[in-house]
Each structure stands twice: as structure tokens, then as C-alpha cells.
Amino acid sequence: MPDSDRARLLSTLQVEIDDVLLTRALTHRSYAYEHGGLPTNERLEFLGDSVLGFVVSDYLFRSFPDIQEDELSRRRAALVSTVALAGRATDLGVGEFLLLGRGEQLTGGDRKASLLADVMEALIGATYLSAGFDAASALVMRIVEPLLPRVAQLSAQMDPKTSLQELAQSRGLGQVSYQVTAEGPDHDRRYHAVVTAGAVTGSGDGTTKKHAEAAAALNAWHALMSPDA
């Protein structure tokens, strides 16, 4: 990696990482295979995933003393999800530094959510090994802090039906109910779902009943969370 790219990435992340570890954190298996079996970022990803999970768990535990374990678990899952990490990698421009094989380059590997999430975890692991836990913890918080105002929404997106049911119960609305209709031929069936929670309804469409119900539940969740609900 050119020194200018290295300096730019480290400046963006606000960390110091050993040169060898930084290169390894950015090395996808496709690049490693094409260059004689270089070490990949997968072991660093494994380590970074553990650091990420612990730091986020610790933050949520200390910051939300009145939230129960199941909701804490959902919020943690949302903050460390592939979608969340890939979004932050995109925000920070990390994709351009990935070392990818030709095939991955041609198929837009630098924009693939799974690869971006993996490299974020690998960079956390590399920071931990290079600069210690405090530096890695600070990096994790810089990654997740922009997501915190939306953590409830991210959690709801991961499991809309459960989130809606629990929100409805917490407001004394009882069980939610779904009505699903389908149209179109078997090979191109479309589903439309309507969910009712108290006086609030939500609708959604999808190629499966499950997807339609999830879309409807998420819309109803947003409606219940609005100030006018």
C-alpha cells in the first residue's frame, strides 16, 4: 500500500496500526489466492468481531440501565450487523483500500456489504493488536456513535414483527393482527400485507408472505413511534 494511502486511511480511522497488520486487515482471500497464498484478514476479522461485540455490549449495559436483556441483545445485534458496519465503511470510504482479486474487483467487491463489514472487524482487530484495547475500544465507538440515534430503528429493521408486537404490548394494544392477500401467477406471485395494532395500521408488499408481513410490521412500527401516535 502506498504511504499516502496508508496515511489517509489511518487519518480517517484516527488510529495507528502496524504496517504488516494494516495490509493483512485489508487483504481479502481472493487477493491472497492470486498472490501466492498471502495471509488474509479472516483471523483479524475473528478477533475484531469479539472486541466489537464486547465494547458495544459494555456501552449498552452502562447507557441503558432500564432496558431488559432481550432488547439489549437486539440493539447490540443491530449495531454490529453487516448492514450497520458496511454502511459505516461506506461513510468512511474504506472500500477503496480493500485488496481484492480480479474477480471481486470486476463484480464490485469494494461495495459488497459482507466484505465491507468483514474489513471493519479486521481493522478493529488490527488496532487491538497494534495499539491495545483502549485504542480499539475508541475506534469501535467512533464507528457506532453515528448509529446510536437510530439504534431502535436498526433493531426494528432486523426483526420488525417482534419489535412491533413488543411495542404494541408495551402500550397496552394487545396482539397485532395480519391480513395477507396474494395476486399473480405462481411463478410471479406478489403478496400484500396489512397489520393492525390498536388504531394504527401498516401495509407492505413482497415476493413472499413473510417479506410482506415484515414490511407491513416495520411501517406500523414507524407509525407507532411517530410523535402523533
- Active-site entry in 45, 110, 121, 213: 121
For the chain, the straight-line distance linking the first and the last C-alpha, in angstroms and rounded, comes to: 53
151: left (phi over 0), alpha (psi -120 to 50) or beta: alpha
CA dist 56 and 76 (Å) reads 6
Asked if 176 contacts 164 with a C-beta cutoff of 8 angstroms, the reply is yes
The alpha carbon dihedral of 143, 149, 153, 156 has a sign of positive
- Active-site entry in 49, 104, 118, 213: 49
CA dist 229 and 216 (Å) reads 16
Active site residue 49: yes
Active site residue 121: yes
Residues acting as catalytic residues: 49, 121
